[in-house]
């Protein structure tokens, strides 16, 4: 799929993916040959070579001193910036990988629970730590899209036995999600609540459409409840942002 996208002229500099792809040496070699940087999640027991010594990712993380950890946001979340502690270490190329480029083990630590996550990274040229952090955080948008598709348009609500039936269901679900996303984008461009209300979300748009299409109701009543929900959500989001922004 990546090869087809690049052949079709899609411009890309980075690839990010979960642990399933992080353990695929052929994929890493392909991306390096295309000079594409990557940030691929790996399991804690995956081995990397740091300063000539092979260790698991978890063992390498245990060697990081306090001064090696940096507090960065992986991007905005529903409850404010997603702050984590990050550390990195240079790793050696594996036998199946091309010579050249720069490789790192990126480590993410949750500031409260201490839970760790690991990423195998590559770039054809040197990049700062914050760049790798931003790329790692981009994958969250994909996860959010899957959650929205399952929760709002029933992406996983199917009981079919054939590929054709599955394909039809998935296609209609993704079309419905695209419609909701397009409506949300158009409304966001045309209106502004000045911070008093949160923007119309996909769940709120789906709720409004379901109410207005299912049975006749007074429009003012429907919109009044929508404003009430969004106002309370705006207050909750502001409180979350204030708490998350505190060091």
Q: What is the pLDDT of residues 218-232, one digit of tens each?
A: 778 778 888 888 888
The single residue listed with the structure tokens 């070579």 is 49
Burial 198-233 (b: 16+ CB within 10 A, else e): bebbbebbbbbeeeeeeeeeeeeeeeeebeebbeeb
Average pLDDT, the chain: 88
β-strand pairing of 37-42 with 14-17: parallel
Q: Which residue, of 92, 119, 134, is where some domain finishes?
A: 134
More confident of the two residues 218 and 45: 45
What is the number of H-type helices and E-type strands within the chain? 8, 8
Q: What is the mean pLDDT of residues 85-108?
A: 89
| Minimum mean pLDDT range among 49-63, 94-108, 111-125, 186-200 | 186-200
DSSP codes, 76-89: EETTEEEEEEEEEE
pLDDT in tens, 175-211: 999 999 999 888 888 776 666 777 888 888 898 888 7
Residue 161 domain flag = no
Domain that holds residue 103: 2-134
Residue 19 domain flag = yes
Residues 205 and 96 in one domain: no
pLDDT in tens, 129-154: 999 999 999 988 888 888 899 999 99
Q: What is the mean pLDDT of residues 82-108?
A: 90
Residues 15 and 107 in one domain: yes
Contact 119/105 with Cβ under 8 angstroms? Answer: yes
Residue 197 domain flag = yes
Neighbours of 24 (CB within 10 A): 13
Q: How many domains does the chain have?
A: 2
More confident of the two residues 223 and 112: 112
Residues 18 and 115 in one domain: yes
Residues 111 and 202 in one domain: no
Q: What is the CA radius of gyration of the chain?
A: 22
Residues 100 and 209 in one domain: no
> Would the pLDDT of 244 be above 80?
no
> Would the pLDDT of 215 be above 70?
no
Query: Tell me, what DSSP letter sits at residue 17?
Result: E
More confident of the two residues 196 and 117: 117
> Would the pLDDT of 162 be above 70?
yes
Contact 186/132 with Cβ under 8 angstroms? Answer: no
Residues 118 and 211 in one domain: no
User: 109-117 long-range contacts, Cβ below 8 Å, gap at least 24?
Assistant: 109/61, 109/69, 109/84, 109/85, 110/84, 110/85, 111/71, 111/83, 111/84, 111/85, 116/44, 116/58, 116/61, 117/41
Residues 206 and 112 in one domain: no
DSSP codes, 86-131: EEEEE-PPPTTSPSSSEEEEEEEE-TTT--EEEEEEEESS---HHH
Q: What is the mean pLDDT of residues 11-15?
A: 93
Residues 39 and 114 in one domain: yes
């Amino acid at each position: 799929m990546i090869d087809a996208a690049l052949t079709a002229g899609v411009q890309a500099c980075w690839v990010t993916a979960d642990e399933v792809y992080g353990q695929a040496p052929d994929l890493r070699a392909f991306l390096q040959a295309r000079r594409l940087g990557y940030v691929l999640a790996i399991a804690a027991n995956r081995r990397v070579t740091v300063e000539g010594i092979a260790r698991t990712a978890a063992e390498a993380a245990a060697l990081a001193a306090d001064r090696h950890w940096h507090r960065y946001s992986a991007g905005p979340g529903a409850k404010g910036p997603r702050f984590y502690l990050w550390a990195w270490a240079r790793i050696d190329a594996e036998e199946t990988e091309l010579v050249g480029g720069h490789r790192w083990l990126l480590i993410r630590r949750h500031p409260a629970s201490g839970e760790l996550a690991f990423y195998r990274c590559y770039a054809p040229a040197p990049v700062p730590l914050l760049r790798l952090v931003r790329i790692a955080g981009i994958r969250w948008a994909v996860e959010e899209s899957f959650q929205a598709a399952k929760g709002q348009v029933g992406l996983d609500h199917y009981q079919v036995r054939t590929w054709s039936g599955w394909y039809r269901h998935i296609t209609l679900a993704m079309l419905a999600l695209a419609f909701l996303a397009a409506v949300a984008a158009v409304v966001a461009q045309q209106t502004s609540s000045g911070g008093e209300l949160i923007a119309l979300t996909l769940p709120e748009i789906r709720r409004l459409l379901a109410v207005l299409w299912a049975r006749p109701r007074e429009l003012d009543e429907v919109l009044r409840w929508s404003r009430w929900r969004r106002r309370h959500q705006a207050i909750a989001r502001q409180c979350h942002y204030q708490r998350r922004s505190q060091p």
